[in-house]
Structure 1
Amino acid sequence: MSEELDILKRALKREKAARKQAEQILEGKSRELYDLTQELKQLNEQLEDGLTKKTSELQGVFDNLVDAYVLMDISGNVVKMNNSAKNLFGYDIDQEKLNIVTLIYKEDYQYAMTSFQELVTKGSFSDYQARVYTKDKGVRTVHINASLIRNKNNQPVAAQGIVRDITYELEQNRVFDEQKKQLSVIVENSSLGIALTQFGKILQTNKAFQNFLGYTKEELIQKEVKDISLKEEYALSSENMEKMNNGKIDHFSVNKRYVRSDGSNVWAKTNVAAVRNPDKTIKYQVALIEDITDQLESEKQRDLLVKNLEKMNLELSEYAHVVSHDLKSPLRSIYALVNWIKEDYSSAFDKTGLGHLSMIERTLEKMETLINDILSYSRAGNKENLESQQIDLNTLISDIKNVVLIPDNTEVYCKQKLPVINGDKTRIQQVFQNLIGNAVMYMDKEKGQIEIDYSDQNTHYQFKIKDNGPGIKEQYHTKIFKMFESVGNHKNSTGIGLAIVKKIVELYEGKIWLESSPEKGTTFYFTLKK
């Protein structure tokens, strides 16, 4: 019995020890389970935080997506759209229902249904382009890429699409294409030759350039610029092209000869401009070619004509000097002879005879004045002996008043102080003296007035000399500036004075004209370049 009791005690002891061991194991496992639970809880919180963050980020991308985003169920009811979609279509699905069919443009309905069928069959479509209605009945053209959304059983439950408004883009492309066509017409029908080149290679030409050289379009694109240029002249163009390629210049102009298909040479003015890539490297060059063969020949003829005219003017001036000398000598002899006759034989002539001798003297004086005027006219336009100095016109007018015989009943005055100008004093004095002298000579009023004034016209001075004399009929306004033309029949007028004035005024790159009518006086205007 004692032995069984010992066995029982030992068994209870082993059971107690086993239970204690089991409790220790259970306590350890519980602790592990708790730690794992806490770790899982922490991981779950991190996952939820990350998911919330990602959801917020995706929502931000969704709301701020530049293109419109539309999500619809399989029946076409729009269930979600971003701000761009709301702005494009004008609908807010939070306030009203919208089915995608409402947006389909009437004439594009069948095309839309075909595309939707493609979406259902293939699961997506791209590059769909069609017109859509907006809420305010506007029409926009859009580009759409769409795809199906499926559930876990692979059944389609919704569809989503990225919609981009390409209305403005298409309009810009249309305008660009139209302008491109217009430019092409202008280029093809331009009278100037136009060539597109790239590093010396001819890429494209227009009809004018093809006709200019006698080559076809196909023949020219097989050539380089050097093939149609004279070797001795190509170096200059090549040097400029090198500067253009290096970015030193963007355009240049050169006169050069081209070699035509028949081997002949033609002169042309060539303007070359660079068209560059964004990195400033040469994309190609555009050349405008103008035939100047006739122009150069005309310039050659003009230069020859100018030289001949200069030679003739010199000969004419020399001839005028010789003629004036040869004419003055016998005139003076006749004048002296008439004076001798009057002195020695005055008693032999009656009053009529003496009158005739006086008439001869006056005629001789007038002839000498005429010769002097002709000589002055021949000198007036001569630039070779043209002097330049500062001229105080106020002093000049005072000097003229002392030279021209001004009657007591006539007043010559300046309305304001006149400027100091640069010019040849003798010629400038001729201008003012002739105009003032004519006004005095033809004055017919009891109280004559001759007013001198000016205005500053930037590059020129404009002067006016106004009188209250008899006036000049309109038919003579141009005629009086010609040689030997005058109004009236004044004994002291040779008809050359105003021709001299006009010649001097034009020498200073100016103009002269008048305003006048009978009995209302005359105003002469003339300009002198500063």
Structure 2
Amino acid sequence: MSNVDIEIFKRALQREKIARKQAEKILEDKSKELYLLTQELKKTNQKLEDLVGKKESTLQGVFDNLVDAYVLIDVSGNVLEMNHAAKKLFGYDITKEKLNVIKLVYKEDYQYAIQSFQQLVTKGSFSGYKSRVYTKNNGVRNVHINASLIKNKKGKPIGAQGIITDITEKLEQTRIFEEQKQQLSTIVDNSSLGIALTQSGKIVQTNKALQNLLEYPQEELLQKEIKDISLKNEYAVSENHMEKMNAGLIDNFSINKQYVKKNNSTFWAKTNVAAVRNPDGSIKYQVALIEDITEQLESEKQKEKLLEDLERTNQDLKDYAHIVSHDLKSPLRSIYALVNWIKEDYSSAFDKIGLNHLAMIEKTLEKMETLINDILSYSSVNNKEELQSSKIDLNTLVDDLKNIVLIPENTIVSTKKKLPVINGDSTRIQQLFQNLIGNAVIYMDKENGVVEIDYEDKKTHYQFSIKDNGIGIKKEYHEKIFKMFESVGDNENSSGIGLAIVKKIVTLYEGDIWLDSTPGIGTTFYFTLKK
């Protein structure tokens, strides 16, 4: 080998070494680049895995917390997955027991279920399926189902999924609502009151009673407004109330107004109007209850006239009683004076029998004057204008009566306990107690007479009792004795008016009077006076 060849060989080796180093450098750089790329891919993959994990967790959370039940089945109907709502609805846990949807289908709805499943297979989905299902713990439930078919990449069905909503309560509420609506409709249709539903013054619904009152058929009334069936001068009053209602100032009002019938005649009616509002407070519609009060108003007018006539008649009777009593008293006094003159001037001319006859005349005159005075008292008892109310200590009043009423020595009048202080007209209250105590004394037939006064404090009244051990009163007289000129026996000191006056006074003070009596043993009069 020549030197030239050797030199060429050396240069070739040198070039090869340089090329190898360059190749190694390139390989090293590419390896480093590949390593860095691999590390970046690893980071990216980790991020993707984390993101997928989060998405899966989120979807699982959504799945588990769906309000409605979610069920996943295979093509044979075996349940593969259920969310919490589905487990709660159907009562099954597929991790512990197998479940096929056929087990849930209500037997009477089986054919409908098959038809819906065929629709699912042929069309890929169905919606609006409503049926009944069996549950493990909740009995039979009504459900609404939307379902769709699941296919693989080749388009072959591998299962189905469905969202199931329990509509049992909703259907029950709807049933109850419809039932109540029907009941309300029946009540409205059969009500004796006229009922109208209005919107912005226009009639939108009426019942039969209102149609009869106005003598319009339903279809004609629905073409009218409230102002069309109202008198113009009266519509303004109700319109003013309606403006307040629209402004939210009032929710209801009541007025008496006249309505115009189809034949243009009118009638008076009491009208109650109530607003039914939307959630925002605006008026949805108004409900008007219309009651014909024409006869009632006429009756009230007649009643007022009767009361006026009665008041006038009562006053005439009082005036007549005073006139008659005055005309009667005058000749009585004259007769009494003549008897006294005869006794004074001619007493020596009369024997014992004659003087006795004069004494009988005097007693008769006294009884006649007592009778006239009692009639005057009876006629004036109801005159409330003459009443002067004041505090009356009944203990003092009873003590005073012991000195006024002639009480025999063998009779004791007492109070069982301290009596109350009441408000009333002293003259009337004195008449009341005086007549009852006087009656007890007059009809006393026992050697040791006892008259006992007592009372009980009731909620709104005082209840008094006056008990004696006198002759007693038979049952058949218990009502009669409170009437004019009705008395027990023929006691010369009784006018037969005293108890009638007592009853009028008790009635004046919004009380009642009654008695308990046993003939031969005694009588207890009970009466109440309003506080």
TM-score range for the pair, normalised by the shorter chain length: over 0.9
The gaps in structure 1 that reach 5 residues or longer are none
Question: Which residue does 1:205 correspond to in 2?
Answer: 206
Q: SS at 1:384's partner residue? A: helix
Distance 2:194 2:502 in 1: 48
Question: Which residue does 2:114 correspond to in 1?
Answer: 113
**Cα distance change on mapping 1:17 and 1:460 into 2, 3 Å:** farther
Tell me which amino acid in the other structure corresponds to 1:289.
I
Which stretch of structure 1 is more off in the superposition, 336-345 or 358-367? 336-345
Question: Which residue does 1:342 correspond to in 2?
Answer: 343
Deviation at 1:6, TM superposition (A): 4.4
Q: SS at 1:191's partner residue? A: coil
Tell me which amino acid in the other structure corresponds to 2:161.
Q
Deviation at 1:22, TM superposition (A): 3.1
* Equivalence map 1:14-53=2 (5 Å): 14-53=15-54
Residue by residue over 1:33-55, the C-alpha shift from the partner in whole angstroms, topping out at 9 and shown as x without a partner, is 22222222222222222333332
Residue by residue over 1:39-94, the C-alpha shift from the partner in whole angstroms, topping out at 9 and shown as x without a partner, is 22222222222333332333333333222222211101112222222222222222
**Cα distance change on mapping 1:163 and 1:350 into 2, 3 Å:** same
**Cα distance change on mapping 1:33 and 1:315 into 2, 3 Å:** same
Distance 1:470 1:245 in 2: 75
Identity of aligned residues (%): 73
Deviation at 1:29, TM superposition (A): 2.6
Question: Which residue does 1:262 correspond to in 2?
Answer: 263
**Cα distance change on mapping 1:456 and 1:250 into 2, 3 Å:** farther
Q: SS at 2:385's partner residue? A: coil
**Cα distance change on mapping 1:21 and 1:208 into 2, 3 Å:** same
Deviation at 1:8, TM superposition (A): 4.0
2:355 is aligned with 1:380: no
Q: Do 2:453 and 2:466's aligned partners in 1 also have CA atoms closer than 8 Å?
A: yes
Q: SS at 2:154's partner residue? A: coil
Question: Which residue does 2:426 correspond to in 1?
Answer: 425
Deviation at 1:278, TM superposition (A): 1.3
Distance 2:337 2:320 in 1: 26
Distance 2:9 2:291 in 1: 131
Q: SS at 1:491's partner residue? A: coil
Distance 1:371 1:214 in 2: 63
Distance 2:49 2:519 in 1: 109
Q: Do 2:256 and 2:270's aligned partners in 1 also have CA atoms closer than 8 Å?
A: yes
Distance 1:21 1:416 in 2: 138
**Cα distance change on mapping 1:181 and 1:463 into 2, 3 Å:** same
Tell me which amino acid in the other structure corresponds to 2:226.
V
**Structure 1 length as normaliser, TM-score?**
0.95
Question: Which residue does 2:488 correspond to in 1?
Answer: 487
Distance 1:58 1:456 in 2: 79
Q: Do 2:90 and 2:138's aligned partners in 1 also have CA atoms closer than 8 Å?
A: no
Tell me which amino acid in the other structure corresponds to 2:414.
Y
Which stretch of structure 1 is more off in the superposition, 333-342 or 462-471? 462-471
**Cα distance change on mapping 1:209 and 1:520 into 2, 3 Å:** farther
Question: Which residue does 2:300 correspond to in 1?
Answer: 299
Tell me which amino acid in the other structure corresponds to 2:424.
G
* Equivalence map 1:241-280=2 (5 Å): 241-280=242-281
Q: SS at 1:494's partner residue? A: coil
Question: Which residue does 1:313 correspond to in 2?
Answer: 314
Question: Which residue does 1:231 correspond to in 2?
Answer: 232
2:211 is aligned with 1:219: no
2:285 is aligned with 1:284: yes
* Equivalence map 1:181-196=2 (5 Å): 181-196=182-197
Residue by residue over 1:143-170, the C-alpha shift from the partner in whole angstroms, topping out at 9 and shown as x without a partner, is 1111111112221111111222222221
**Cα distance change on mapping 1:355 and 1:162 into 2, 3 Å:** same
Question: Which residue does 1:88 correspond to in 2?
Answer: 89
Residue by residue over 1:321-373, the C-alpha shift from the partner in whole angstroms, topping out at 9 and shown as x without a partner, is 11111000001111111222222222333322222222221111111111101
Deviation at 1:15, TM superposition (A): 3.6
Distance 2:416 2:36 in 1: 115
Tell me which amino acid in the other structure corresponds to 1:365.
E
Tell me which amino acid in the other structure corresponds to 2:173.
Q
Tell me which amino acid in the other structure corresponds to 1:210.
Q
Question: Which residue does 1:357 correspond to in 2?
Answer: 358
**Cα distance change on mapping 1:520 and 1:223 into 2, 3 Å:** farther
Which stretch of structure 1 is more off in the superposition, 201-210 or 57-66? 57-66
Tell me which amino acid in the other structure corresponds to 1:282.
I
Tell me which amino acid in the other structure corresponds to 1:318.
D
Which stretch of structure 1 is more off in the superposition, 513-522 or 329-338? 513-522
Question: Which residue does 2:159 correspond to in 1?
Answer: 158
**Cα distance change on mapping 1:23 and 1:468 into 2, 3 Å:** farther
Which stretch of structure 1 is more off in the superposition, 187-196 or 119-128? 119-128
**Cα distance change on mapping 1:4 and 1:386 into 2, 3 Å:** farther
**Cα distance change on mapping 1:433 and 1:265 into 2, 3 Å:** same
Tell me which amino acid in the other structure corresponds to 1:513.
W
Question: Which residue does 1:402 correspond to in 2?
Answer: 403
Q: Do 2:91 and 2:138's aligned partners in 1 also have CA atoms closer than 8 Å?
A: no
Distance 1:386 1:232 in 2: 46
Distance 1:105 1:384 in 2: 84
Question: Which residue does 1:101 correspond to in 2?
Answer: 102
Distance 2:470 2:319 in 1: 39
**Cα distance change on mapping 1:471 and 1:90 into 2, 3 Å:** farther
Q: Do 2:252 and 2:275's aligned partners in 1 also have CA atoms closer than 8 Å?
A: yes
Question: Which residue does 1:496 correspond to in 2?
Answer: 497
Question: Which residue does 1:176 correspond to in 2?
Answer: 177
Question: Which residue does 1:145 correspond to in 2?
Answer: 146
Residue by residue over 1:79-127, the C-alpha shift from the partner in whole angstroms, topping out at 9 and shown as x without a partner, is 2222222222222222211111111111111011111111111111111
Distance 2:183 2:210 in 1: 19
Question: Which residue does 1:470 correspond to in 2?
Answer: 471
**Structure 2 length as normaliser, TM-score?**
0.95
Distance 1:409 1:53 in 2: 114
Q: Do 2:464 and 2:527's aligned partners in 1 also have CA atoms closer than 8 Å?
A: yes
Distance 1:28 1:383 in 2: 128
Deviation at 1:511, TM superposition (A): 2.0
Distance 2:60 2:217 in 1: 63
**Cα distance change on mapping 1:56 and 1:518 into 2, 3 Å:** farther
Distance 1:105 1:137 in 2: 14
Tell me which amino acid in the other structure corresponds to 2:281.
K
Q: SS at 2:384's partner residue? A: coil
**Cα distance change on mapping 1:164 and 1:345 into 2, 3 Å:** same
**Cα distance change on mapping 1:453 and 1:59 into 2, 3 Å:** farther
Question: Which residue does 1:132 correspond to in 2?
Answer: 133
Distance 1:29 1:416 in 2: 127
Tell me which amino acid in the other structure corresponds to 1:27.
E
Q: SS at 1:269's partner residue? A: strand
* Equivalence map 1:57-76=2 (5 Å): 57-76=58-77
Question: Which residue does 2:459 correspond to in 1?
Answer: 458
